């Protein structure tokens, strides 16, 4: 039976049967006449030429309602930049690529740093922030969708369902978060299943009812990279530059958007993408990602007046491990019922690694509750450097010429 259950503080828009793609795209085309829709793709050089990106671009070539596409490219040499321009050519909407490691954008990033506007180290958060700046500089899009470039199960209905709740003015949503079941021959989504959800539940057991924890617990896949938002929000949004970017953006939406204007939407029957090893500290292994996610949750709670001390963290770690172990039993039963592979010993080992991640996040928080500053919002940049939008637009035009 299709699920239509509503719970939590945000609306859930379900996938009830096969989507009528023709209807969705027809309506989105009509909506885009008044509210142009843009797509933002944060991309890394290693994704250029992969089967996942090739499949995404093959589907995008038939999408009729996009007004523009902005691609932020990290880690690209001149040769990869040249290849990327060829890879993204031929799409029906105008495409602007940001060469984040190219000389023009490096000069602008240095200008920001010299004006005490640090945007952190290279990473997905900074990449997204620069893409949002390009969209604001173009001043065309009113609706902005975002998704990653490593999705193996992508199709056009995925994007249409992601855009629809915000693009349709009658629905009243300013922010939509995508979710879907993450599995192949086994369950995926380990950071969400074994770190994020048990951590939120464990904090709730200690702190009692809290609006931010209830909000986080409402999302079925809080760490997904898929979202759609009203373009007006781009100017007001700050974000972390590290692996906590998805949780950081949810925290910003909690701050600047009414919960009644936030929804989550089931974008696909199944979702699969590339999977990271558990331990690879310098390269963003799951344990490093888990630590950044936990730090973001801790710092957001602290900003809201919650006192987090050593005693609380010691209790939290004990509760978290037990909660994660219970989750493993539930996931094992789910996998068994559906005939999926499930290595319980491996999952127990991942939970143990995440205990170390939570402890590292707690230690980092206690040593420096503020941590690395969030990337400033674009309103502040525009105030400090009034001509920066035009400089950014010109730099991207030169790279794309």
The string of pLDDT tens digits covering residues 103-123 is 999 999 999 999 999 898 889
Phi-psi region of 75 (alpha: psi -120 to 50; beta: other; left: phi over 0): left
Mean pLDDT, range 372-379, rounded to an integer: 92
Measured distance CA(127)–CA(125) in Å, rounded? 5
The pLDDT of residue 283:
45
Residue 3 lies in a domain: no
Residue 329 lies in a domain: yes
The pLDDT of residue 240:
83
The pLDDT of residue 272:
80
Mean pLDDT, range 127-156, rounded to an integer: 96
Residue 4 lies in a domain: no
Q: How confident is the model at residue 244 (pLDDT cuts 50, 70, 90)?
A: confident
Higher pLDDT, 392 or 370: 392
What is the average pLDDT value for the chain, to the nearest integer?
93
Residue 1 lies in a domain: no
Q: What is the CATH number of the domain that holds 18?
A: 3.90.550.10
pLDDT reading at 401 higher than 90:
no
CB burial of residue 181 (10 Å; 0-12, 13-18, 19+): middle
The pLDDT of residue 95:
97
List own/partner pairs for 80-87 with CB under 8 A and 24 or more apart.
80/45, 80/48, 81/399, 83/48, 83/49, 84/43, 84/45, 84/48, 85/400, 87/48, 87/49, 87/53, 87/57
The count of other CB atoms within 10 Å of the CB of residue 199 is 26
User: Which two structure tokens, joined as six digits, stand for 133?
Assistant: 């700046």
pLDDT reading at 359 higher than 60:
yes
The pLDDT of residue 276:
60
The pLDDT of residue 280:
41
pLDDT, one tens digit per residue, over 146-179 is 999 999 999 999 999 999 999 999 999 999 999 9
The pLDDT of residue 126:
94
Which of 215, 247, 226 shows the shortest CA–CA distance to 177? Answer: 226
Counted domains in the chain: 1
The pLDDT of residue 277:
64
The pLDDT of residue 279:
57
pLDDT, one tens digit per residue, over 259-307 is 999 999 999 988 887 666 665 444 457 888 899 999 999 999 999 999 9
**Which stretch of 154-158, 238-242, 251-255, 380-384 has the lowest confidence by average pLDDT?**
238-242
The pLDDT of residue 58:
97
The pLDDT of residue 322:
96
The pLDDT of residue 1:
44
The pLDDT of residue 25:
98
User: Which two structure tokens, joined as six digits, stand for 19?
Assistant: 């989507």
Which domain covers residue 118, as residue numbers?
11-400
The answer to whether the CB of 159 falls within 8 A of the CB of 183 is no
The count of other CB atoms within 10 Å of the CB of residue 305 is 6
Residue 321 lies in a domain: yes
CA atoms within 13 A on the CB side of 273: 20
Residue 2 lies in a domain: no
- The CA R_g of the chain, rounded to the nearest whole Å, is 21
Q: How confident is the model at residue 242 (pLDDT cuts 50, 70, 90)?
A: confident
The pLDDT of residue 284:
54
Measured distance CA(69)–CA(56) in Å, rounded? 13
pLDDT, one tens digit per residue, over 179-212 is 999 898 999 999 999 999 999 999 999 999 999 9
The pLDDT of residue 323:
97
State percent of the chain over pLDDT 70: 97
Residue 216 lies in a domain: yes
Which of 124, 134, 133, 160 shows the shortest CA–CA distance to 145? Answer: 160
Residue 6 lies in a domain: no
The answer to whether the CB of 52 falls within 8 A of the CB of 149 is yes
The count of other CB atoms within 10 Å of the CB of residue 63 is 20
């Amino acid at each position: 039976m299709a699920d239509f259950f509503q719970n939590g503080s945000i609306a859930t828009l379900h996938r009830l049967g096969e989507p009528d793609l023709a209807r969705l795209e027809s309506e989105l085309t009509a909506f885009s006449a008044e509210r142009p829709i843009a797509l933002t793709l944060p991309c890394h050089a290693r994704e250029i030429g992969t089967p996942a990106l090739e499949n995404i671009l093959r589907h995008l070539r038939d999408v009729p309602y996009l007004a523009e596409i902005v691609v932020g490219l990290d880690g690209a040499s001149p040769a990869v930049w040249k290849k990327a321009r060829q890879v993204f050519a031929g799409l029906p909407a105008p495409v602007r690529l940001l060469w984040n490691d190219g000389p023009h954008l490096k000069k602008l990033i240095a200008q920001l740093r010299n004006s005490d506007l640090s945007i952190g180290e290279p990473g997905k958060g900074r990449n997204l922030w620069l893409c949002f700046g390009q969209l604001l500089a173009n001043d065309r899009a009113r609706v902005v969708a975002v998704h990653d470039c490593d999705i193996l199960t992508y199709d056009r209905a995925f994007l249409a369902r992601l855009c629809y709740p915000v693009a349709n003015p009658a629905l009243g949503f300013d922010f939509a978060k995508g979710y879907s079941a993450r599995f192949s021959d086994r369950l995926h989504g380990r950071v969400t299943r074994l770190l994020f959800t048990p951590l939120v539940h464990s904090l709730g057991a200690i702190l009692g009812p809290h609006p931010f924890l209830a909000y986080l617990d409402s999302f079925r896949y809080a760490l997904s990279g898929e979202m759609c938002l009203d373009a007006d929000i781009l100017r007001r949004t700050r974000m972390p530059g590290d692996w906590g970017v998805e949780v950081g953006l949810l925290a910003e939406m909690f701050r600047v958007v009414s919960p009644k204007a936030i929804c989550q939407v089931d974008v696909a029957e199944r979702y699969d993408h590339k999977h990271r090893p558990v331990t690879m500290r310098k390269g963003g292994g799951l344990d490093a990602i888990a630590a950044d996610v936990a730090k973001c949750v801790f710092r957001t709670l602290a900003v809201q007046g919650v006192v987090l001390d050593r005693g609380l963290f010691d209790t939290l770690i004990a509760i978290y491990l037990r909660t994660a172990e219970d989750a493993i039993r539930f996931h094992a039963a789910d996998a068994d019922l559906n005939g999926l592979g499930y290595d319980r010993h491996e999952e127990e080992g991942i939970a143990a690694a995440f205990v170390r991640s939570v402890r590292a996040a707690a230690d980092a928080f206690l040593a420096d509750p503020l941590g690395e500053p969030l990337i400033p919002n674009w309103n502040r940049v525009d105030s400090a450097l009034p001509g920066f939008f035009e400089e950014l637009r010109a730099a991207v035009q030169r790279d794309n010429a």
